[in-house]
């Protein structure tokens, strides 16, 4: 192990591949956030069948491993339904998004339940509808509780994106294996050093996500600290 | 007016439980013993690693879902599942032991010790297990004189990855022990070993157990990644059946079924444990 670094062109390849990784992460994150909002709120619904359905989804998404789900969604389902041409990136993002939705729903449910009940009662007495209640009163307060675990969950999904190399996408992980083939052909470099560099790349990405969520938390704390909770336009919207 | 008899005055004896430690209560000990027995059966050399998975029943030529084929894959799937479970359990044993020492290292007052340990924990926690598995495999291959089987590499990788998670759980558990308990231990002139083993750990363990259970399930969910280092587990079975028969739907779906068969009951058990312990603490 004479050198701890890779060559410049290899780093460029890895950075290009991290574009794919981040793309999958972005799609999965969007789908995951939407799913977790919908399912998390559905788990607190007054109707029993909605609650039951949401519980089934959460138990399924959390009970099955993301890797098996990925194989089922990206390989088994397209063959079963004959949709061979579906873009792999979308299928992988769907699998990861379902996985994230299961965990995220529980986070959002916990956040909503942590908001004191008096807030809901006060907003009922102010004649706010269920949607307004959620949008203007409960969710903003729940957000401070939701954000930190959501950041951790996003890092978990970033780690999950490494799995898409197993279904044939060229993300960071697959690019590392390609580079390894190149290294073998050229007889330069060692495998541990290569994968150590890949690990560091993932670590940096995770820290960036961490930082973004920290910034969001700080912004949120400033936004809801003292003063009127709603801006003029928001007050207008409620009226 | 009825006279109040002596029996009616005495409180219902059923409701009074003599205080017993959690490890002396049958409701806790019986599952623990069962788990230990199951554990030893799984880890024992009786369970052999299957080298190839070949279904005896061929599917019909059509593209539609073949139930007969699906059902006949079940015994093969179980063989793969056992290997996956075995790797998980061995890895988790490593994780709970290593995690404790990592937690101690992170709590240490010597910065020379606590800072590197913290850095390592954060690094391992925020990088994918899959890449780590490749790294360990590469490291084992590069170092001369060491040869490990794929399942050992999988267990090792899982163990080190989840040790960092467990260390966070332990740290939270140890921090949740009231400060007054430590002061009382000092006041009673207990040494560091006694105050750890007799005061801190018995109070920290019930707080930590549910979190550890959740990590065990999470580790089980990550164990199929062993296919990347050629461990002959659940996903290896599905891949091989696909390569043999050119049918992808049935093997992957039955792998998912086998997965839920283990993880849902395990999650239910952990939730029960959580409830019981929180009830006990009051």
By C-alpha distance, which of A151, A141, A161 is closest to A33?
A: A151
Please report, for the domain that includes residue A61, its CATH number.
Answer: 1.10.3720.10
Distance CA B78, CA A220 (A): 49
Q: Tell me the pLDDT band of B116, cut-offs 50, 70 and 90.
A: very high
pLDDT at A100: 93
Phi and psi of B109, rounded to 5°? -80, -20
pLDDT at B1: 46
- Give every CB contact of residue B139 below 8 A, 6+ residues apart in sequence: A192
**Span A52-65, mean pLDDT?**
88
pLDDT at B102: 93
Domain encompassing residue A229: 8-238
Q: Tell me the pLDDT band of A53, cut-offs 50, 70 and 90.
A: very high
A55 within some domain: yes
pLDDT in tens, A122-170: 999 998 888 888 888 888 888 888 999 999 999 999 998 988 888 888 8
Looking at CATH, the fold of the domain delimited by B66-281 is given as MetI-like fold (1.10.3720)
CB contact under 8 A, B126 and A163: no
A2 within some domain: no
Residues on A contacting B at a C-beta cutoff of 8 Å: 59-60, 62-69, 71-72, 75-77, 79-80, 82, 155, 158-163, 165-166, 173, 176-177, 190-192, 194-196, 198-199, 202-203, 206-207, 210
Q: Over chain A, what is the mean pLDDT? A: 86
Q: Tell me the pLDDT band of A37, cut-offs 50, 70 and 90.
A: very high
CB count in 10 Å sphere of residue A44: 15
pLDDT in tens, B94-105: 998 999 999 989
pLDDT at A12: 87
Is the predicted pLDDT of residue B19 greater than 80, yes or no?
no
Distance CA A17, CA B39 (A): 41
pTM to 2 decimal places:
0.80
ipTM of the complex: 0.81
Q: How far is B24 from chain A (nearest CA, A)?
A: 31
Distance CA A25, CA A92 (A): 10
Q: Residue B82 half-sphere exposure, CB side, CA atoms within 13 Å?
A: 18
Q: Is the CB of B255 inside 8 Å of chain A's CB atoms? A: yes
CA separation, residue B79 to residues B45, B47, B52, B56, B83 (Å) = 14, 9, 10, 14, 7
pLDDT at B69: 78
Contacts of B237 in chain A (CB under 8 A): none
pLDDT at B282: 43
**Span B178-202, mean pLDDT?**
88
A204 within some domain: yes
What the block records as the tokens of B153 is: 């590499």
**Count of structural domains within chain A:** 1
Q: Tell me the pLDDT band of B234, cut-offs 50, 70 and 90.
A: confident
Q: Is the CB of B221 inside 8 Å of chain A's CB atoms? A: yes
**In Å, how far from its chain's centre is CA A34?**
10
A3 within some domain: no
């Amino acid at each position: 192990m004479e050198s701890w670094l890779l060559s410049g062109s290899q780093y460029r390849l890895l950075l290009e591949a991290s574009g794919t990784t981040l793309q999958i992460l972005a799609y999965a994150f969007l789908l995951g956030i939407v799913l977790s909002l919908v399912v998390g709120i559905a788990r607190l619904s007054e109707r029993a069948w909605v609650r039951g359905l949401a519980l089934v989804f959460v138990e399924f998404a959390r009970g099955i491993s993301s890797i098996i789900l990925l194989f089922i969604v990206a390989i088994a389902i397209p063959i079963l339904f004959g949709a061979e041409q579906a873009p792999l990136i979308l299928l992988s993002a769907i699998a990861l998004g379902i996985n994230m939705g299961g965990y995220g729903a529980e986070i959002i449910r916990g956040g909503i339940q942590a908001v004191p009940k008096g807030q809901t009662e006060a907003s009922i007495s102010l004649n706010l509808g269920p949607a307004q209640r959620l949008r203007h009163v409960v969710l903003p307060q729940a957000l401070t509780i939701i954000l930190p675990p959501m950041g951790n969950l996003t890092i978990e999904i970033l780690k999950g994106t490494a799995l898409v190399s197993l279904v044939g996408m060229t993300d960071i992980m697959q690019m590392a294996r390609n580079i390894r083939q190149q290294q073998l052909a050229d007889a330069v470099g060692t495998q541990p050093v290569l994968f150590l560099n890949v690990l560091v790349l993932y670590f940096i990405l995770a820290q960036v996500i961490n930082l973004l969520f920290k910034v969001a938390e700080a912004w949120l704390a400033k936004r809801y600290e003292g003063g009127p909770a709603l801006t003029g336009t928001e007050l207008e919207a409620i009226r | 007016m009825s006279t109040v008899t002596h029996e009616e005055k005495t409180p219902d004896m059923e409701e009074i439980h003599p205080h017993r430690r959690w490890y002396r209560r049958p409701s806790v000990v019986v599952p623990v013993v069962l788990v230990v027995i199951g554990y030893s059966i799984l880890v024992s050399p009786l369970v052999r690693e299957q080298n190839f998975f070949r279904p005896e029943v061929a599917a019909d030529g059509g593209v539609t879902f073949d139930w007969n084929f699906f059902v006949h894959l079940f015994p093969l799937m179980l063989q793969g599942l056992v290997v996956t479970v075995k790797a998980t359990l061995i890895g988790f044993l490593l994780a709970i032991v290593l995690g404790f020492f990592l937690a101690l290292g992170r709590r240490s007052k010597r910065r020379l010790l606590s800072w590197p340990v913290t850095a390592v924990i954060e690094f391992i926690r925020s990088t994918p297990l899959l890449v780590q598995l490749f790294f360990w495999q590469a490291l084992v291959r590069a170092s001369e004189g060491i040869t490990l089987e794929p399942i050992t590499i999988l267990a090792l990788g899982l163990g080190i990855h989840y040790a960092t998670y467990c260390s966070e759980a332990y740290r939270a558990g140890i921090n949740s022990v009231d400060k007054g308990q430590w002061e009382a231990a000092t006041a009673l002139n207990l040494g560091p070993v006694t105050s750890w083993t007799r005061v801190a750990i018995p109070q920290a363990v019930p707080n930590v157990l549910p979190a550890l259970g959740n990590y065990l399930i999470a580790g089980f969910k990550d164990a199929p990644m062993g296919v990347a280092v050629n461990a002959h587990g659940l996903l290896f079975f599905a891949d091989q059946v696909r390569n043999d028969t050119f049918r992808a739907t049935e093997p992957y779906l039955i792998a998912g079924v086998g997965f839920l068969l283990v993880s849902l009951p395990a999650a239910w058990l952990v939730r029960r444990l959580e409830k019981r312990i929180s009830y006990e603490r009051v």
